[in-house]
């Protein structure tokens, strides 16, 4: 029988990870539009891909955890990888732009949380 999680049996670590993923998804999605408005290296295919890969991975990871999928640890591992890449991209093109700094920090927090979730299931 497949493992199912409910809000009463979900660990605090998992609840925190879900929140970090949802926040990072939101921040990366908004930042992608901000970067398109800025143009230049912010609008490059490489940076936009990093932002949107991260946003989608975060959304998927949160979904897997919310549904209690037994594959959530694998989704979290991928999410952490995407978040680390996005954090690096935001820091490299962002300079002192506050939104880019906020995005990089959201990615860092989400990556750390997802790494913990992936390690717990290993």
In a domain, 81, yes or no: yes
Number of domains in the chain: 1
Has residue 107 been placed in a domain? yes
Question: Do the domain assignments include residue 56?
Answer: yes
For 8, counting Cβ atoms within 10 Å of its Cβ (0-12 exposed, 13-18 middle, 19+ buried), the class is: exposed
| Residue ranges making up the domain that contains 18 | 12-121
Cβ pair 50, 89 in contact under 8 A = yes
Q: What long-range pairs does 12-16 form, CB within 8 A, spacing at least 24? A: 13/113, 13/116, 13/117, 13/120, 14/65, 14/117, 16/113
The alpha-carbon radius of gyration of the chain (Å, integer) is 15
Per the domain annotation, does 3 fall within a domain?
Answer: no
Contact 45, 76 (CB under 8 A): no
Instruction: Convert the pLDDT of each residue in 5-25 to its tens digit.
Output: 444 467 999 999 999 999 999
Residue 4 in any domain: the answer is no
Euclidean distance between CA atoms 59 and 63, whole angstroms:
6
pLDDT tens column, 55-114: 999 999 999 999 999 999 999 999 999 999 999 999 999 888 999 999 999 999 999 999
CATH at 70: 1.20.1270.360
Residue 44 CB partners (closer than 8 Å, separation 6+): 93
- Identify whether 7 is part of a domain: no
């Amino acid at each position: 029988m497949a493992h199912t999680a409910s809000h009463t049996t979900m660990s605090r670590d998992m609840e925190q990870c879900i929140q970090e993923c949802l926040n990072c998804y939101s921040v990366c999605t908004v930042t992608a539009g901000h970067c398109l408005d800025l143009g230049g290296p912010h609008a490059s295919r490489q940076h936009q891909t990093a932002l949107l890969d991260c946003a989608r991975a975060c959304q998927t990871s949160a979904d897997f955890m919310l549904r209690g999928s037994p594959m959530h640890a694998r989704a979290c591992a991928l999410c952490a990888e995407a978040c680390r890449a996005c954090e690096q991209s935001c820091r490299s093109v962002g300079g002192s732009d506050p939104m880019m700094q906020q995005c990089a920090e959201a990615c860092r927090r989400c990556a750390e949380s997802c790494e913990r979730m992936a390690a717990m299931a290993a």
